[in-house]
Amino acid sequence: MIDILFSGLIHGSAYALVAVGMSLIFGVTNVANFAQGSIVAVGIMVSWWLGSALGWGIVPTLLAVVLVTAVLGFIMNFAVISPLEGRKPIAALLATIGIGQILDNGLQIIFGPQTRPFPKLLPTYNLQLFGVRFGTSDIVMVVLAIVSMLGLWAFLKFGKSGQAIRATSQDPEAARQMGIPVKSIRNLAFVIGSILAGISGVFIGLFNGNINPMNGGSIGMTAFVAATIGGLGSIPGAVAGGLVLGLVEAVGISWLGDGAHDLITFGALLIILIVKPQGLFGAKNDVKNEPLAGTFLGGGRPITLPWWANVGLAALLLASPFFLSDYLSGIGTQVAIYAIAAVGLTLISGSAGQTILGMAGPLAVGSYASALLTTRLHWPFLAALLLAGIIAAIAASILTFPVWKLSGHYVAIATIGVGAVMVAIIRLWEPLTKGSLGIQGIPFPNIFGISLYTPQMMYLLDAVLLVLTLIVVTRIRSSHLGKVFEGVGSDQDASEVLGVHTGAYKALAYALASFFAGIAGSLLAHQYTYIDPTIFNANMSVLILTIIVLGGMNSPLGAVLGSLVLIGAPELLRFASDTRVLLYGVLLVLIILFRPQGLFARKG
């Protein structure tokens, strides 16, 4: 047990370093920085290269990592985050997601995606105490974490710039009036946060022994959970959250196995959000004004086409399978499946104004539900398809039911946890889902005795369902219910004054979005004929969200256009297969900076 607790302490120290940086940035800028894990990966890979290729020691390597990550932190804020000041903070959050995609994919391009051994910059198993073997690197990691956190505390309390950071965190406008250079202070917060993430990356590499460019993603997300548990914006809370989460993970994994990591981590996130949403050390505040409340970036208005144009586009879509090759039809199925999920998402993230960051979860539930219904119970495809959507909506509604009393970033963060918990349950429920092995032999769709086994047939089915989805979502948006959704998204406080139960309507919009995600998941399963939990990762959630950001968060037709651009164009042109995620990230950042209303929408 001692070795388990020691491992938890080491991991918790790394989480704490990253979480402290996240909380510092959040406290000063009100930005939830989802690129922090990618900065960790930069620290890992830069230190690997310096130690392996150049043979540098620990001290010059640390100094180089500090320099590289400091520059990245400054560029991130100066070039992307700072220009978004004055817009809704959801813009900056999505921009950090795009930056993270750029960094992660850039590291893979530069260093290669393979796993490799980390250089022995410090001894790793040269000490023993109470039967536990550990290394000088572990001791240095813990000591450095303590020194860094104490140093940051002293800097914030006694340093002139640190006091300016605290003043900016409490009231940016008052800080400006007092002569504090708020922009410079925000740059400094990003620099410090990035340095802490880079330093933690060096020691994570030493502790893990084997690394690859994608290691930072899970570390960053876990550290974000730690910061949320401690209280976003609270430095002591980030330290406590990191250490607590590291110990809970170590004990939980020792009992339940590695597959339980996400369930433990994101289950803890959901519990803390329900019980104490401001975190263990966070100050109570008015959650009605949280940074992810409201519609996206000033609310673009969807472009409305005349009825004959809509009919013509639908006819063109339905006719296209009869003229396309197998290859192009295969691309069309992917475009249509993601478009179905994205069109549904416009109801909650567009109309109702609540950002959703975990749509891969409902899509996974729908996929597995349809696969199990057809392979084990031998249900007909259409019945399985419909029930898959219903099951996804019910599962998502049950898991998010307690969090709709909250608002803003609390709900958005909770949806990350919901998505991850759904996939974790699928992975752990081996008697039913076969766990990590996945489900094979999923049949092609069979409708009225006709097996849709060709790409053209699959594409035609998906196109029909996409048209039906557009019709249903458009009718919902034009109905009284849709007007209520729009009212909630436009002004939640005013809606509540009028007696509208905003949480209930957001929950309903989320259930509808999850239903369509479940439909998309069913189609995905029957097209692939094999599924496993790794398909439904965070990148899928980000991709679906990016699709509606590109097309226009409030535009169903824009979601189709976004899917065509993000899914269809790279496949169709066969370019940049190794840099696709990087291009997604670049496109997301550019859209947020220069065309926030999306491609198929007008400025509000």
Find, among 19, 32, 45, the residue nearest to 105 by Cα. 45
Domain ranges, residue 586: 307-570+580-594
Structure tokens at 271: 């519990």
Each residue of 314-334: pLDDT tens digit? Answer: 899 899 888 888 888 999 999
Each residue of 223-262: pLDDT tens digit? Answer: 888 888 888 778 888 888 888 888 888 888 877 777 778 8
* Percent of the chain whose pLDDT exceeds 70: 92
State the chain's mean pLDDT as an integer. 85
Residue 1 pLDDT: 65
Indicate if the pLDDT at residue 290 is higher than 50: no
Residue 474 pLDDT: 94
Per-residue pLDDT, averaged over 277-294, amounts to: 57
Each residue of 441-498: pLDDT tens digit? Answer: 999 999 988 889 899 999 999 999 999 999 999 999 999 999 999 888 888 888 888 8
| Dist CA 410 CA 415 (whole Å) | 9
Write down how long the chain is.
604
Please spell the DSSP secondary structure of 272-337, one letter per residue.
HHHH-TT-SSPPP--GGG-TT-SSGGG-PEEPPPPHHHHHHHHHHHHHGGGTS-HHHHHHHHHHHH
Provide the greatest CA pair distance for the chain: 78
Both 438 and 515 in one domain: the answer is yes
Which of 73-82, 134-143, 192-201, 287-296 has the least mean pLDDT? 287-296
Structure tokens at 323: 């003229």
Task: Answer whether 27's CB lies under 8 Å from 283's CB.
Answer: no
CATH of the domain at 37: 1.10.3470
Domain-ending residue, one of 191, 226, 254 = 254
Indicate if the pLDDT at residue 294 is higher than 50: no
Find, among 395, 380, 402, 363, the residue nearest to 271 by Cα. 402
Both 245 and 375 in one domain: the answer is no
Q: How far is CA 431 from CA 262, 376, 427, 437, 481, in A?
A: 19, 12, 10, 11, 41
Residue scoring higher pLDDT (321 or 381): 381
Residue 574 pLDDT: 54
pLDDT category of residue 4 using cuts at 50, 70 and 90: confident
Domain-ending residue, one of 216, 232, 254 = 254
Indicate if the pLDDT at residue 289 is higher than 50: no
Both 244 and 312 in one domain: the answer is no
Tell me whether residue 187 is in a domain.
yes
Domain-ending residue, one of 189, 220, 254 = 254
Task: Answer whether 200's CB lies under 8 Å from 43's CB.
Answer: yes
pLDDT category of residue 570 using cuts at 50, 70 and 90: low
Which of 26-30, 68-72, 559-563 has the least mean pLDDT? 26-30
Both 487 and 392 in one domain: the answer is yes
Each residue of 119-134: pLDDT tens digit? Answer: 888 777 766 776 677 6
Residue 281 pLDDT: 79
Both 466 and 532 in one domain: the answer is yes
pTM of the model: 0.85
Tell me whether residue 86 is in a domain.
yes
Structure tokens at 278: 């401001």
Q: How far is CA 402 from the centre of its chain?
A: 21
Q: At what angle do helices 2-29 and 215-230 cross, to 10 degrees?
A: 80
| Dist CA 30 CA 24 (whole Å) | 9
Tell me whether residue 274 is in a domain.
no
Which of 90-99, 103-112, 382-391 has the least mean pLDDT? 90-99
Tell me whether residue 314 is in a domain.
yes
Burial of 501 (0-12, 13-18, 19+ CB in 10 A): middle
Number of domains in the chain: 2
Tell me whether residue 280 is in a domain.
no
Residue 393 pLDDT: 96
pLDDT category of residue 370 using cuts at 50, 70 and 90: very high
Residue 596 pLDDT: 79
Euclidean distance between the first and final Cα of the chain, in Å? 59
Where in 343-425 does DSSP place strands (E)? none
Residue scoring higher pLDDT (402 or 137): 402
| Dist CA 52 CA 394 (whole Å) | 51
Indicate if the pLDDT at residue 520 is higher than 90: yes
Q: How far is CA 80 from CA 71, 85, 292, 370, in A?
A: 14, 10, 18, 42
Each residue of 153-183: pLDDT tens digit? Answer: 788 878 888 888 878 777 777 878 888 888 8
Both 18 and 101 in one domain: the answer is yes
